[in-house]
Structure 1
């Protein structure tokens, strides 16, 4: 395999990582780091030092963004701890496919629907003191806030992952 072909295969793999940074349940920034490391082993680690540093920084930042964006969405929507815990449980169940089988989208939709349902149920249970109508409104608002926050975080992670690929392309030249 030629060096040039390997370079472009790694770029394509990194672009898959960018998509993975946005789409829940797919590997994202970690794929980009691995692709950069492969190039570093072929060309020498000094050739990738800046790109690798940026990629590792983005990988660590992505974890923080995930939590902060979900927390921000929950906070803005007035979600309780129950709603946040419900969203996490719903996410796990959605990833594992324990939600009812969906005719279209399967696990990918489960990853989106799981947190929404989990947050709704958690929030509904935590607001027992409210009338039914107010309880339903609070639960819906909190669950939508958590999911919107999570989606905003995914978009930010995608932008950071794309910036990492751009840094890699700019700092390494195709042979």
Structure 2
């Protein structure tokens, strides 16, 4: 039983990483691990609080994701073109289709893709390079701040799980 517990905790750690790094599942992995623990331990009563907290964290994470990107874009004066460019850049960067990145693969593309995409999208719309750069940086900074907040929320969900289930597994 302890081996399964530690494997699920490891899955939750991947979920924490995924909450911060785009394109890796985050809080949803934590939720899945908690549900699996409820099934394996045959004690859904023991996971009621972690389950509720994690569902709330998942909903908050979605809200933070949209709000942080929006506020970052708004603060920098970005248009919808910059936001669309950031999404396209993220996808192209993740799949390694950025010709300017012959090394680093998807992980590096995830970080540079949205920035380049936002700058290109904003430049197409405004035709002013420095405004496009400002908007691109604003979108990326907003997204990074949102990802950090999601990471903190994911850590909180895992801590709640550990605190409530530890006595069940290890006694005490």
TM-score (norm 2): 0.92
* Cα RMSD after superposing both structures: 1.3
Indicate the residue corresponding to 1:132 in structure 2.
none
Matches within 5 A, 1:42-61: 42-43=40-41, 44-61=43-60
Contact 1:25 1:108 in 2 (8 A): no
Indicate the residue corresponding to 1:168 in structure 2.
161
In structure 1, the residue corresponding to 2:78 is in which secondary structure?
Answer: coil
| Aligned CA distance change for structure 1 residues 114 and 19 (closer, same or farther; 3 Å) | same
Aligned equivalents of 2:9, 2:162: Cα separation in 1: 8
CA displacement at 1:101 relative to structure 2: 6.8
Aligned equivalents of 2:126, 2:86: Cα separation in 1: 16
Matches within 5 A, 1:76-155: 76-100=75-99, 102-128=101-127, 135-155=128-148
Indicate the residue corresponding to 2:21 in structure 1.
23
Aligned equivalents of 2:25, 2:17: Cα separation in 1: 9
CA displacement at 1:141 relative to structure 2: 0.4
Deviations 1:92-121 (A, max 9, x none): 222222222734321011111111111101
| Aligned CA distance change for structure 1 residues 105 and 163 (closer, same or farther; 3 Å) | same
Deviations 1:132-160 (A, max 9, x none): xxx11101100000000000011000000
Q: Which runs of 4+ in 1 moved over 4 A?
A: none
Indicate the residue corresponding to 1:14 in structure 2.
12
Aligned length: 167
Aligned equivalents of 2:45, 2:73: Cα separation in 1: 43
In structure 1, the residue corresponding to 2:46 is in which secondary structure?
Answer: helix
Query: Structure 2: any 5+ residue segments left out of the alignment?
Result: none
In structure 1, the residue corresponding to 2:24 is in which secondary structure?
Answer: coil
